[in-house]
Amino acid sequence: MKVAVVGATGMVGEVMLKVLAERNFPVTELLLVASERSVGKKMSYQGKDITVIGLADAVAAKPEIAIFSAGGDTSLEWAPKFAAVGTTVIDNSSAWRMDPTKKLVVPEINASQLTKEDKIIANPNCSTIQMVMVLAPLHKKYKMKRVVVSTYQSVSGTGVKAVQQLENEIAGIQGEMAYPYPIGRNALPHCDVFLENGYTKEEMKLAREPQKIFDDRTFSVTATAVRIPTAGGHSESVNVEFENDFDLSEVRKLLSETSGVIVQDNPDTNTYPMPIYAHDKDDVFVGRIRRDETQRNTLNMWIVADNLRKGAATNAVQIGEYLITHNLV
């Protein structure tokens, strides 16, 4: 199995290499691919030094799978070139997510839709993945009508420059700014760019992607996305109105039996999900599960996950695992 990691030198790319190694992904030859400025650089994978190559060389090598985390423009230009030589591309950018001809996949929810013909597969937004992992079993049981989500997103979701900005501010160093304002001791209601409707791109991803993943437009999602000064891990306050009523103990049982979801919900012992505990883990954590007392059939929850792992790298690798297990590559 010849596998290419495109954007290998970036923050998510490095986590992808870590996840591939941890999960013993069946790689016989690993191609580390990056932009021209990184070509020739050496990176280590499972004790071996591998030289970074450019995109054209990677296409010429015809890998079976290429996992992309190199930005939307790179994906739009190069994913079709890989697909044309028979490579299956798993893309972590927003480039293909809402393309009606491409599947948007969270393996635990909708991998069964995949076929050999799917040569470009989209990985959802990090905030979307952790939310739908928790919503999926609940939607199946109680049928969602409306979701209101507010996110508390770490600076690692922006990238290395943002992590450096936060570290500089903590150390009292003047440095390059990833954000228009300080992030330390602050909260920015500004994730990604603003759109004409007053929402940010991140907020609209949260609104649209779940409908595509569930292949269901009978429910709606409205979002407010906020950047906070945590180094890693995204948190979400999620309010869900259902068609049917629920029992809280049944909700907790349903979620605790869901693969990839861990319930941390005991106010008596101050047990609830936090980014500091989600760090470097592949599960999605849910707690503060309680009834919304202002409205019928409505639930409040707090959902946390490591945005670089299940929110990006792990989900992409799991798609690759599914493709191999089901002989789709």
318 marked as binding residue = no
Q: Of 326, 288, 316, which Cα lies nearest the Cα of 3? A: 316
168 marked as binding residue = no
227 marked as binding residue = yes
- DSSP class per residue in 31-73: EEE--GGGTT-EEEETTEEEE-B-HHHHHHT--SEEEE-S-HH
Type of residue found at 217: R
157 marked as binding residue = yes
38 marked as binding residue = yes
Q: Any catalytic annotation for residue 234?
A: yes
The residue from 126, 191, 279, 326 that is catalytic is 126
12 marked as binding residue = yes
10 marked as binding residue = yes
The residue from 190, 234, 279, 326 that is catalytic is 234
Q: Of 284, 286, 285, 287, which Cα lies nearest the Cα of 318? A: 284
Q: Of 312, 291, 309, 310, which Cα lies nearest the Cα of 300? A: 291
* Helix%, strand%, coil% for the chain, nearest 5: 35, 25, 40
- Separation in Å, CA 236 to CA 138, 147, 148: 16, 12, 10
- Evaluate whether 329 touches 89 at the Cβ level (below 8 Å): no
What is the C-alpha end-to-end distance of the chain, expressed in Å?
A: 9
- Evaluate whether 287 touches 295 at the Cβ level (below 8 Å): no
Q: Any catalytic annotation for residue 126?
A: yes
295 marked as binding residue = no
97 marked as binding residue = yes
175 marked as binding residue = no
Active site residues: 126, 234
Binding-site residues for NADP(+), in ranges, read 9-12, 37-38, 156-157, 307
Annotated binding-site members: 9-12, 37-38, 97, 153, 156-157, 227, 307
Q: Which residues are annotated as a binding site for substrate?
A: 153, 227
**Binding site for phosphate: residue ranges?**
97
